[in-house]
Copies of this chain bind each other. A is one copy, B any other.
Amino acid sequence: MSEIDLVLTACQRAADAAPAMRAADPSKLAVLLETVAAKLAEKEAEIVQIACAESHLPVPRVTGELGRTTGQLRMFANDIRQGKWSDHRFVEALPDRQPMPRPQLERSMIPIGPVAVFGASNFPLAFSVAGGDSASALAAGCPVVAKVHPAHPKTSELVGSIVSAAVFELGFPAGVFQLVSGSNEVGAALVTNPNIKGVGFTGSKAVGRHLMDIAAARPQPIPVFAEMGSINPIFMLPGALADRGEALATGYTQSLTMGVGQFCTNPGVVFGIASPEWDAFCGSVAKGVSEVPTGTMLTEDIGKSYCINSAHVLAADGVETLVKPTEAGQPGLARTTIETYLENKDLPEEVFGPFGILVTANSIEELKWLFPVLEGQLTGTIQHGTSDEELVKELVPLLEERVGRLVFNGFPTGVEVCEGMQHGGPYPASSDVRFTSVGNHAILRWLRPVTFQNAPKFLS
C-alpha cells in the first residue's frame, strides 16, 4: 500500500474504533492511560537511549521528559476517573409549567471522534506519539492517529508499539491508536480525511497555518489546535535592573540557552529602557552567552535554519552583533533600538535556537509603540523591582492582550503541567487562544457537548 493508502486505512480503522471508545467507561480509559504510563516507565532505559541518540538531547533532559510524559498520562487518568471534564448538567422536567412544560434535559461532554496528532521535533516524548495531545485525546475517548516525526522515527515506533500493546492487552480495537509516517502529503491526507474530527499539532508557523487552512477548507471543517511557538518577550523594568541586574543577566542567559534554545517558550527578545544599568545588563548577557558552549541541535535542518536566521538578523541595518554564532547550536546575541526593531519586519520573527535580541527603548512611551504590532505570544514576562509598581500596572493590560501566560520575575521556559497552566496564545502563537495544549484543560479540545431530552430510563 502507498503511504496515502495507509493513511486512509488508519483513519477508517480509527472511525470504526470510535464507538467502542465512546461506550467505554471512563475508568477503563483511565486504565488504558495508566497501562501506557507503566509500560513506558518499564522501558525507560531503552526509550531514553533511543530518544537521546535521535534528538541529541542529554540524558537528564530526556529522562525528565519521560517522567513528564508518564505524569501527563496519569494526570488525565485521574481526571477522567473523577469525571472532572464531563460537565454533566441535569435539568429536571417541569410538566406543569405554564405556558409551556419544561422537558428533562441532560447535557454532558462526549468525544469528538478520531484525532490526528502531529508531534514536535523538540519534545520526542512529551509532545509526540504518547505526549500531551495523544494522552488528552485518548482520555477524552477519541481514537488517535499519530504521525511519526521524521526527527525521531525510532523513538516514535518504540513508543507507538508500547501504546498499541496496552490497547491490545485491554481489549480495545487496534484502531484506537495508530501510527502513520511519511511525507508532507501524508500530513495533508490525515487532516483532510473525513473521518478525522480534530488535529493536534506542535511545530512551525508555516506548517501550522497550512494545516489550519486545509482543515478550514474541508467540506466539513474541523478544528486544528496548532501550537506554533513564539518569541516570548521579556520586559526588563528599571527597578528590576537596579535591584538585581547581574542575577537577571545570569538568569536570562540560562533561560535563552537552556536545551540549546529549542523550547517554544524560549525568550528570544528582551526590551529595556536606555540607562547605565541596561547597558551593564546587555554587557553581562553578552559575556555570559559568549561563554556558553555550542550544543547539538535536534536535527541538521534545524541547525542550518538557525545559522541562516541568526545571520540574517545580525546582518540587518541598525543591528549590533554582540555574540555571533559561527556554527549550528552556538548561542548568539544581537542588540538594536526599538525603532529598528519595529521598522524591520524580519526582526520579530522567531529564530528557533539559542539566539536573543536585546532591544533598547528611550522611554516607557517608546516601549509602548511595540504593543499595537506585537504578534500573539505564548508568554510575556515582566521583570520588575521595588520601584516599578505603576509601570507594571500600565503594562499588564497591554501584554495580557497579546499572550496566554504572563510571567512575573521569572523566565518563561519551564511549562508546569497542571490546572493552572495556559499554554497557547493569540495567533500566531497558537491557532485558537481559547485552548491550551499543556495541563488538565488540554482535554477540552477533544470534547463536545450533547443534550439528551427526556431520555428513557433504560438508556442510563
Contacts and interface: CB of A to CB of B under 8 A. Distances in A.
A58 interface: no
A404 interface: yes
Contacts of A408: 452-456
Contact of A416 (B105, B396, B400, B421): B105
Contact of A405 (B401, B434, B441, B451): B451
Interface stretch (A3-11, A172-180, A212-220): A212-220
Copies of this chain per assembly? 2
Interface in A314-362: none
Nearest to A444: B434
A420 B89 contact: yes
Contacts of A434: 112, 223, 447-449
A216 B23 CA distance: 34
Given A405-B450, A410-B453, A420-B91, A397 B103 contact: no
Contacts of A404: 449-451
Q: Which of A401, A414, A428 has the most chain B CB atoms closer than 10 A to its own CB?
A: A401
Contacts of A458: 389, 392-393
A451 B419 CA distance: 10
A107 interface: yes
A405 B220 contact: no
B432 A223 contact: yes
A450 B403 contact: yes
A316 to B, nearest CB: 23
B100 A392 contact: no
B102 A416 contact: yes
Nearest to A422: B451
A interface bracket (residues with beta carbon within 8 Å of B): 35 or more
A19 B105 CA distance: 37
A454 to B, nearest CB: 5
A427 interface: yes
A45 interface: no
Nearest to A90: B420
Contact of A220 (B392, B426, B436): B426
Contacts of A22: 397, 400
Contact of A427 (B221, B403, B427, B451): B221
Nearest to A216: B216
A65 interface: no
A101 to B, nearest CB: 9
A280 interface: no
A91 B419 contact: yes
Interface in A397-442: 397, 400-401, 403-410, 414, 416, 418-422, 426-428, 431-434, 436, 439, 441
Of all A-B residue pairs in the complex, the 7 with the closest CB atoms, nearest first, are: A105-B420, A91-B420, A216-B216, A422-B451, A405-B451, A407-B453, A422-B449
24 contacts: A89-B419, A89-B420, A105-B416, A107-B420, A107-B439, A220-B428, A221-B427, A223-B432, A384-B456, A389-B458, A392-B456, A392-B458, A392-B459, A393-B458, A400-B450, A404-B450, A404-B451, A405-B450, A405-B453, A407-B453, A409-B456, A421-B451, A422-B449, A422-B450
